[in-house]
Amino acid sequence: MNLKDVLAAKGHRVVTVSAKSSVADAIRAMHAAKVGAVMVPDAEGCPVGIFTERDVVRLYADGDRDFDTLAVEARMTCSVVLGRLSMSVDEALGVMTERRFRHLPVVEEGKLLGVVSIGDLVKVKLNETAQEAQALRAYIAS
Amino acid sequence: MNLKDVLAAKGHRVVTVSAKSSVADAIRAMHAAKVGAVMVPDAEGCPVGIFTERDVVRLYADGDRDFDTLAVEARMTCSVVLGRLSMSVDEALGVMTERRFRHLPVVEEGKLLGVVSIGDLVKVKLNETAQEAQALRAYIAS
């Protein structure tokens, strides 16, 4: 299984906000879509900007709280790790647990095709593992 | 592998705040410990309260923003799903993906022994799957 399969199953919907949106707008977009991160695809000098729940906590804790006027591009993270359609689920999970992030934008030829979350990948992985184990048990029994 | 093994490997540290703490204090505790959720173990009528990044986004989006005076017990979630030491990693991952949450408090005899996150479980699962596949391949080859 690779990220192409995952996106085919979960869909290609991406929750985006523009770079000039306020942090408050990004939070509302996240909440409305029930996701933990919004993408900022048109940010200058960054293939895909990401703004997450974790950023909201960080900004608030740091006292950086003028969310209505603060532009999301000023506080987002530029994703340095991009997924590709051919990337395997294991590879994606490996890089996410190692680098400690939970949302991986999938990009081909500069185009943002979707986002996979650690939860999406775990769901696929659990199914895959169960099927593999069954196949191997059947092989051994035969 | 079960949750006892996971906690033995990752440690039993739990980031807690008291029920009367403010939401602002809970956010600062979350940020300082670099975790996505804090536990509220002494909340009335609730085995373990949980307050997460997602709650911060929800409160802000709903305009419920007086974080300095709002008590965390008034806005936390009471965990209805508790992990046990004997629960398998697969079972825990299954319930987390199905019910869509990312932190599972592990409780035995009313005592909070630790918290496992979806990231902790994925890490264990990837190791376990790799080892199992290797053992089965060795068995088939022999």
Is residue A36 less than 8 Å (CB to CB) from chain B? yes
Is residue B10 less than 8 Å (CB to CB) from chain A? no
ipTM: 0.86
Is residue B27 less than 8 Å (CB to CB) from chain A? yes
Dihedral sign, CA of B101, B102, B103, B107? positive
At residue A134, the 3 state secondary structure works out as: helix
Q: Tell me how close the Cα of B130 comes to any Cα of chain A, in angstroms.
A: 10
What per-residue confidence (pLDDT) applies to A123? 86
Rounded Cα distance between A75 and A108, Å, is: 25
| pLDDT tens, position by position, B99-140 | 989 999 999 998 999 999 998 998 888 888 778 878 888 888
For chain A, domains (ranges, CATH) are 3-141 (3.10.580.10)
Q: What is the mean pLDDT of each run of 10 residues along chain A (142 residues)?
A: 94 94 97 95 87 97 95 93 95 92 93 93 84 85 87
What per-residue confidence (pLDDT) applies to B91? 94
At residue A19, the 3 state secondary structure works out as: coil
Alpha-carbon A49 to chain mean position:
11
Nearest to A20 by CA among A71, A57, A54: A71
Q: What torsion, rounded to 10 degrees, do the Cα atoms B68, B106, A116, A131 define?
A: -170
DSSP H/E element including A31: helix A23-33
Q: List residues bridging with A8 in a β-sheet.
A: none
Q: Tell me how close the Cα of A20 comes to any Cα of chain B, in angstroms.
A: 18
Nearest to B60 among A27, A102, A125 (CB): A27
Q: Tell me how close the Cα of B60 comes to any Cα of chain A, in angstroms.
A: 8
* CA-atom Rg of chain B in angstroms: 18
Q: How far is CA B140 from CA A133, B91, B131, in A?
A: 13, 28, 14
What per-residue confidence (pLDDT) applies to B131? 85
Is residue B70 less than 8 Å (CB to CB) from chain A? no
Indicate the residue type of A49.
G
Q: Among the residues of chain B, which ranges form H helices?
A: 3-10, 23-33, 53-61, 89-99, 118-141
| pLDDT tens, position by position, B31-76 | 999 999 999 988 888 889 999 999 999 999 999 999 999 999 999 9
What per-residue confidence (pLDDT) applies to A100? 87
CB neighbours of residue B85 within 10 Å = 16
Is residue B66 less than 8 Å (CB to CB) from chain A? no
Dihedral sign, CA of A93, A98, A104, A110? negative
DSSP B71: B
